[in-house]
Amino acid sequence: MFHLAAKCLFPAAFNATPSVPTWLQNAYMSRMTQTIDDIIADFDMLDEWEDRYRYVIDLGRDLKPYPEDARDAAHKVQGCVSQVWLKTQIGQGADPAIAFLGDSDAHIVRGLVAIVLALYSGRRASEILAIDAQGILKTLGLDEHLTPQRSNGLRAMIARIRTEAQGAMAREGVR
């Protein structure tokens, strides 16, 4: 029920597999097989928040390795208490596909990075801008169970991704 309600409220986030060029899949897609749809369904099956935290940590373990040369100030997400890095690959065209790699030095935050990447990575810029991330995070219950610092960091990651999508569309002259 929780899962179906989320799908009805946030349809843009539940498109089947995004249409992602092969080069983008190979370069940036994580090893994760879970989509945001899968993550919501898994959260729905876990009754205890301790189990959900363990699951979030496990999601972080499945991220594709982050390149050492991208652990720099240019890729660091500002506004996060933990170290968080986000690397972006933007495709071609008026509404390019955008893929992200991310990492953190904190286990739970790394899992939150995985959730954000499942939500956004591989989607077209217009899809990224249409997603109601706060609504989805509320559906997961993260808005109530994260510390204020982690919530701020999560919002900073989402803002950075949205800025990248806006920039990609502006670059191509799309409004």
Q: Residue 59 maps to which CATH number?
A: 3.90.1010.10
pLDDT score recorded for residue 127:
97
Q: Which residues have C-beta within 8 Å of that of residue 9, sequence separation ≥ 6?
A: 132, 135, 139
Provide the domain count of the chain.
1
pLDDT score recorded for residue 81:
86
pLDDT score recorded for residue 34:
81
Catalytic residue among 6, 29, 39, 80: 80
> What b/e readout covers 30-39, taking b as 16+ CB neighbours within 10 angstroms?
bebebbbbeb
Q: Which residues pair with 89 in a beta bridge?
A: 99
> What b/e readout covers 108-120, taking b as 16+ CB neighbours within 10 angstroms?
bbbbbbbbbbbbb
pLDDT score recorded for residue 119:
96
Domain that holds residue 71: 2-9+18-171
pTM: 0.82
Is 80 labeled as catalytic in the residue annotation?
yes
Q: How confident is the prediction along the chain (175 residues), in pLDDT tens digits per residue?
A: 444 444 444 444 444 444 555 545 555 554 556 899 999 999 999 999 999 999 999 999 999 999 999 999 999 999 888 999 999 999 998 899 999 999 999 999 999 999 999 999 999 999 999 999 999 999 999 888 999 999 999 999 999 999 999 999 988 665 4
CB 44 within 8 A of CB 80: no
- Token output for 165: 């999508």
pLDDT score recorded for residue 10:
45
Nearest to 101 by CA among 141, 159, 132, 60: 60
